[in-house]
Amino acid sequence: MSRIAKRFAQLKADKRAGLVTYVTAGDPDADVSYQILKGLPGAGADLIELGMPFTDPMADGPSIQLAGQRALKAGMTVDKTFDMVKRFRKDTGDNDTPILLMGYYNLVYQRGPEKFCKDAAAAGVDGFILVDLPPEEADELKPFAAAAGLDTVLLTAPTTDDKRLPAVLKYSSGFVYFVSVLGITGTSSATEEAVQNHVARLRRHTKLPIGVGFGIRTPDQAAAVARHADAAVVGTAIIDRVKAGLDDKGKAKPDLVPGVFAYIKALAAGVRGVRKD
Amino acid sequence: MTTSPNSFRTGPDERGHFGIFGGRYVAETLMPLILELEKAYNAAKADPAFQSELDYLLEHYAGRPSPLYFAKRLTEKLGGAKIYLKRDELNHTGSHKINNVLGQVLMAKRMGKTRVIAETGAGQHGVATATACALFDIPCVVFMGSVDVERQSPNVFRMKMLGAEVRPVTAGSSTLKDAMNEALRDWVATCENTFYCIGTVAGPHPYPAMVRDFQCVIGNETRQQMMKAEGRLPDTLVACIGGGSNAMGLFHPFLDDPGVRIVGVEAAGHGIESGEHAASLTGGRPGVLHGNRTYLLQDKEGQITEAHSISAGLDYPGIGPEHSWLKENGRVEYVSATDTEALDAFGVLCKLEGIIPALESSHALAHVIKLAPTLPMDNLLVMNLSGRGDKDVPQVAARMGMKIES
């Protein structure tokens, strides 16, 4: 059983939904980014998405675009992202919290999908969410990911109709990520009713756990998602806390890391307040 | 590649691939939309009413066919190949872009879309899109890098006069690639009512094939016109390449004529060796961006690097996937011309032929100036004069240290 499957099984046994937190690797710099990563499980993250900064993040709003630019400017690379994960597993002894790499396919393609998967697995990564690799092109990654024991979490969207869903699900493992709004990250939010309807529709097609993301900013919104889905994914709102902790020169102020953790604790409280029987 | 395909004109396959290039690397939100577009485009291609409406507009609105003009003075000056210019700069709106836009805006109408978005570099595609949207009364938003807004200001005013909204993009390098990112971001949020009118033979399938088909009018006309003028096919074709739509439009109808030598000219900026250029085929390697796999300018990791060219229309770190395929199978030769060579060529055409070419097309001409003298006098060479240079006058004047009095 993969770490991701185990974590969702545990959440189910605990009768609650999970909180998935997204941070961009290397934002605002490697050190501060690692401090954040290390503390995420303690602050209440059940699963971690680690964004690989990319020059052209076509599906991201301004917050995550700028986070990627800060990270690249500070010298972040794919190797250093792997190193962060390695160090996390070693330093914290946390062998249970799943870490997924999120980003765009070109970084995987340039390293070579097979090598990328092997290196990621060796570093302690559990899976991928690649925004621009739909099922139509997923063949070039899936066999290597499977061989390395990595899950591939594909995205589903409001535009993914019942006819198309089976094709997306065929390539999905670990969980299914539902993008709850039409749009880029960090813009609008879905209503609870829309989330409920879409999750119900997805459940008719799959037994995989369902994570819902895009537009979740408050503990109440996270709780609303938790009432229906198996996990709530929060990204932009966390990145905004990182940005708020930077001084005029782009350096981390002392309250940056605690500020991020306090915010994640509040989100986790929202999610954990929903009992699922 | 050791074997050649039976035909170079059958691509892409049903998944939108030209060999390893092309494909559909887009966010899931957009996938159903591009599948719908593919279906609608296949239906339109088979519908004689669609083709006849497009033909009517191309003839009576855009002014096609564009002339195939024998450039006598240029030919005499260069002392080699007999040079013909395919005058696509005489089209309505001043470039080949209108050929594609009329087709796509008809598609938007056919699909019931009520809003059109586009990206633009030099502004030629933006102006063409704004024009067609005015004609069909469809709201139009054009994304343009803020650097390009600055250096192509005449086109910005034209778009605004035509009723389009121009949104300057300040992300990244603030040029064409960033405008395309921003258009894709808009489209993800608005795809239910919005048609994305891509300006070149790039993006996810079916765009590279669809835009090519709309641009093939250039090569098809050239074929007929050359048969009429000389009684035979041309020997050499030359066109400039940013994304590569004018080149593909000229080249594609000739790909299966082995006697026709075909040359694409990329922008070498300050020179390939300087690292500051926009020649993705010469200086890049295959990667995935903007929905397709193609040659890209990128660093070792796969981060996209900034392109450089004096010509805003060529200032793009990628290229249409079919060009990548034609490079690898060797059917088309790809070369490059620098900013300086293009500027010199610009001046040559102004003075010898009384034609002000776009800086984009000046890159093709720069190569013609090198190539023609090496060819025999019976070599029939066609260069695609894809755009006119009115939009470039302020920029070229500034380079020459001239002041334009207002």
Mind spelling out the 3-state secondary structure of chain B?
Answer: CCCCCCCCCCCCCCCCEECCEEEEECCCCCHHHHHHHHHHHHHHHCCHHHHHHHHHHHHHCCCCCCCEEECHHHHHHHCCCEEEEECHHHCHHHECHHHHHHHHHHHHHHCCCCEEEEEECCCHHHHHHHHHHHHHCCCEEEEEEHHHHHHCHHHHHHHHHCCCEEEEECCCCCCHHHHHHHHHHHHHHHCCCEEECCCCCCCCCCHHHHHHHHHCHHHHHHHHHHHHHHCCCCCEEEEECCCCHHHHHHHHHHCCCCCCEEEEEEEEECCHHHCCCCCHHHHCEEEEECEEEEEECECCCCCECCCCCCCCCCCCCCCCHHHHHHHHCCCCEEEEEEHHHHHHHHHHHHHHHCCCECHHHHHHHHHHHHHHHHCCCCCEEEEECCEECHHHHHHHHHHCCCCCCC
Asked if B73 and B43 sit in the same domain, the reply is: no
Q: Max Cα separation, chain B?
A: 59
- pLDDT category, A169, cuts 50, 70, 90? very high
What is the rounded average pLDDT of the residues B200-205? 97
Query: Last residue of a domain, which of B161, B187, B211?
Result: B211
Asked if B386 and B342 sit in the same domain, the reply is: yes
The nearest alpha carbon in chain A to B290 belongs to A58
Determine which of A12-26, A173-187, B59-73, B332-346 has the lowest per-residue pLDDT on average.
Answer: A173-187
Q: Which pLDDT value is given to residue B315? A: 86
Other CB atoms closer than 10 Å to residue A15's CB: what's the count? 10
- pLDDT > 70: percent of chain A: 100
Does the residue B8 lie in any domain? no
In angstroms, the CA B245 to CA B88 distance is 12
- pLDDT category, B1, cuts 50, 70, 90? very low
The closest alpha carbon to B17, from B201, B293, B243, B215, belongs to B293
How many independent structural domains does chain A possess?
Answer: 1
Question: Within an 8 Å CB–CB cutoff, is residue A110 touching chain B?
Answer: yes
A149 CA to chain B: closest CA distance, Å?
A: 24
Asked if B130 and B261 sit in the same domain, the reply is: no
What is the rounded average pLDDT of the residues A269-273? 98
pLDDT > 70? residue B405: no
Asked if B383 and B341 sit in the same domain, the reply is: yes
Q: What is the mean pLDDT of chain B?
A: 95
Contact A53, A27 (CB under 8 A): yes
The closest alpha carbon to A84, from A112, A133, A51, belongs to A51
pLDDT > 60? residue B278: yes
Asked if B37 and B104 sit in the same domain, the reply is: yes
Q: Which pair of tokens denotes residue B102?
A: 């009329």
Contact A186, A236 (CB under 8 A): yes
What is the rounded average pLDDT of the residues B16-25? 98
Q: Which pLDDT value is given to residue A225? A: 97
What are the residues of chain B with a beta carbon less than 8 Å away from any beta carbon of chain A?
15, 23-33, 171-172, 177-178, 181, 184-185, 188-192, 287-291, 293, 296, 298, 300-305
B228: domain CATH number is 3.40.50.1100
Pairing of strands B194-196, B236-240: unpaired
Q: Is A16 left (phi over 0), alpha (psi -120 to 50) or beta?
A: beta
Percent composition of chain B: helix, strand, coil (DSSP 3-state, to 5)? 45, 20, 35
Does the residue B146 lie in any domain? yes
Q: Which pLDDT value is given to residue B3? A: 58
In angstroms, the CA A50 to CA A27 distance is 11
3 state SS of B347: helix
The nearest alpha carbon in chain B to A136 belongs to B24
Contact B391, B155 (CB under 8 A): yes
With an 8 Å Cβ cutoff, are B302 and A133 in contact?
Answer: no
Query: Last residue of a domain, which of B169, B191, B211?
Result: B211
With an 8 Å Cβ cutoff, are B29 and A72 in contact?
Answer: no
Pairing of strands B165-169, B285-289: unpaired
Does the residue B18 lie in any domain? no
For A38, the enclosing helix (H) or strand (E) is: helix A30-43
In angstroms, the CA B318 to CA B289 distance is 8
Question: Within an 8 Å CB–CB cutoff, is residue A61 touching chain B?
Answer: yes
Asked if B135 and B281 sit in the same domain, the reply is: no
What is the rounded average pLDDT of the residues B388-403? 87
The nearest alpha carbon in chain B to A188 belongs to B189
Q: How many residues in chain B?
A: 406
Other CB atoms closer than 10 Å to residue B15's CB: what's the count? 12
Per-residue pLDDT tens for B296-327?
999 999 999 989 999 988 989 999 999 999 99
pLDDT > 70? residue B406: no
Per-residue pLDDT tens for A101-149?
999 999 999 999 999 999 999 999 999 999 999 999 999 999 999 999 9
Q: Nearest by CB to B301, which of A57, A107, A157?
A: A107
Asked if B326 and B180 sit in the same domain, the reply is: no
Per-residue pLDDT tens for A215-237?
999 999 999 999 999 999 999 99
With an 8 Å Cβ cutoff, are B190 and A78 in contact?
Answer: no
- pLDDT category, A31, cuts 50, 70, 90? very high
Question: Within an 8 Å CB–CB cutoff, is residue A59 touching chain B?
Answer: yes
Q: Which pLDDT value is given to residue A188? A: 86
Read off the pTM.
0.96
With an 8 Å Cβ cutoff, are B288 and A105 in contact?
Answer: yes
A17: domain CATH number is 3.20.20.70
pLDDT > 50? residue B197: yes
How many independent structural domains does chain B possess?
Answer: 2
With an 8 Å Cβ cutoff, are B301 and A105 in contact?
Answer: no
Question: Within an 8 Å CB–CB cutoff, is residue A167 touching chain B?
Answer: no
Per-residue pLDDT tens for B65-97?
999 999 999 999 999 999 999 999 999 999 999
In angstroms, the CA B216 to CA B251 distance is 8
Per-residue pLDDT tens for B112-131?
999 999 999 889 999 999 99
In angstroms, the CA B21 to CA B31 distance is 18
In angstroms, the CA B187 to CA B130 distance is 17
Asked if B204 and B223 sit in the same domain, the reply is: no
- Domain of A84, in residue numbers: 3-269
pLDDT > 70? residue B2: no
With an 8 Å Cβ cutoff, are B184 and A58 in contact?
Answer: yes
For A147, the enclosing helix (H) or strand (E) is: helix A142-147
Asked if B282 and B336 sit in the same domain, the reply is: yes
B162 CA to chain A: closest CA distance, Å?
A: 28
Question: Within an 8 Å CB–CB cutoff, is residue A197 touching chain B?
Answer: no
- pLDDT category, A259, cuts 50, 70, 90? very high
With an 8 Å Cβ cutoff, are A157 and B28 in contact?
Answer: yes
Does the residue B7 lie in any domain? no
Asked if B324 and B379 sit in the same domain, the reply is: yes
pLDDT > 70? residue B7: yes
Catalytic residue ranges of B: 97, 119, 386
Q: In a mutagenesis test of the B interface, which of A56, A102, A163 is the best target, namely the one with the most B β-carbons within 10 Å? A: A56
pLDDT > 80? residue B172: no
In angstroms, the CA B187 to CA B194 distance is 7
In angstroms, the CA A8 to CA A102 distance is 19
Q: In a mutagenesis test of the B interface, which of A102, A137, A178 is the best target, namely the one with the most B β-carbons within 10 Å? A: A137
With an 8 Å Cβ cutoff, are B31 and A56 in contact?
Answer: no
Query: Last residue of a domain, which of B211, B231, B246?
Result: B211
Asked if B104 and B68 sit in the same domain, the reply is: no
- Domain of B251, in residue numbers: 64-94+216-399
Does the residue B5 lie in any domain? no
CA B258 to chain centroid, in Å, comes to: 24
Contacts of A184 in chain B (CB under 8 A): 185, 188-189
Does the residue A276 lie in any domain? no
Q: What is the mean pLDDT of chain A?
A: 96
With an 8 Å Cβ cutoff, are B172 and A155 in contact?
Answer: no
The nearest alpha carbon in chain B to A106 belongs to B288
Q: Nearest by CB to A182, which of B26, B177, B189?
A: B189
With an 8 Å Cβ cutoff, are B304 and A160 in contact?
Answer: no
Of the residues A29, A31, A46, A49, only one is catalytic, namely: A49
The closest alpha carbon to B277, from B313, B306, B241, belongs to B306
Does the residue A275 lie in any domain? no
Does the residue B125 lie in any domain? yes
Does the residue A265 lie in any domain? yes
With an 8 Å Cβ cutoff, are B289 and A106 in contact?
Answer: yes
Contacts of A136 in chain B (CB under 8 A): 15, 23-24, 31
Q: Nearest by CB to B301, which of A62, A77, A168?
A: A77
Q: Max Cα separation, chain A?
A: 51
Q: Nearest by CB to A59, which of B31, B33, B188?
A: B188
Q: In a mutagenesis test of the A interface, which of B301, B304, B324 is the best target, namely the one with the most A β-carbons within 10 Å? A: B301
Q: Nearest by CB to B31, which of A57, A65, A136?
A: A136
Q: Is A186 left (phi over 0), alpha (psi -120 to 50) or beta?
A: left
Contact B356, B35 (CB under 8 A): no
Question: Within an 8 Å CB–CB cutoff, is residue A5 touching chain B?
Answer: no
The closest alpha carbon to A103, from A116, A89, A118, belongs to A116
ipTM for this model: 0.96
The residue behind tokens 């989100």 is A267
Query: Which residues on neighbouring strands pair with residue B8, listed in sequence order?
Result: none
A60 tagged catalytic: yes
- pLDDT > 70: percent of chain B: 98
In angstroms, the CA B188 to CA B178 distance is 15
Percent composition of chain A: helix, strand, coil (DSSP 3-state, to 5)? 45, 15, 40
Contacts of A61 in chain B (CB under 8 A): 185
pLDDT > 60? residue A95: yes
The distance in angstroms from the start CA to the end CA of chain A is 24
CA distances from B261 to A142, B78, B226 (A): 41, 19, 15
With an 8 Å Cβ cutoff, are B298 and A110 in contact?
Answer: yes
Asked if B352 and B335 sit in the same domain, the reply is: yes
Does the residue A277 lie in any domain? no
Does the residue A250 lie in any domain? yes
In angstroms, the CA B46 to CA B106 distance is 14
For A101, the enclosing helix (H) or strand (E) is: strand A99-103
With an 8 Å Cβ cutoff, are B25 and A105 in contact?
Answer: yes
What is the rounded average pLDDT of the residues B262-269? 98
Does the residue B112 lie in any domain? yes
Q: Nearest by CB to A179, which of B26, B28, B289?
A: B28
Does the residue A274 lie in any domain? no
Contact B33, A161 (CB under 8 A): no
pLDDT > 60? residue B110: yes
Of the residues A46, A60, A151, A230, only one is catalytic, namely: A60
In angstroms, the CA A64 to CA A52 distance is 11
What is the rounded average pLDDT of the residues B157-161? 97
Other CB atoms closer than 10 Å to residue B350's CB: what's the count? 15
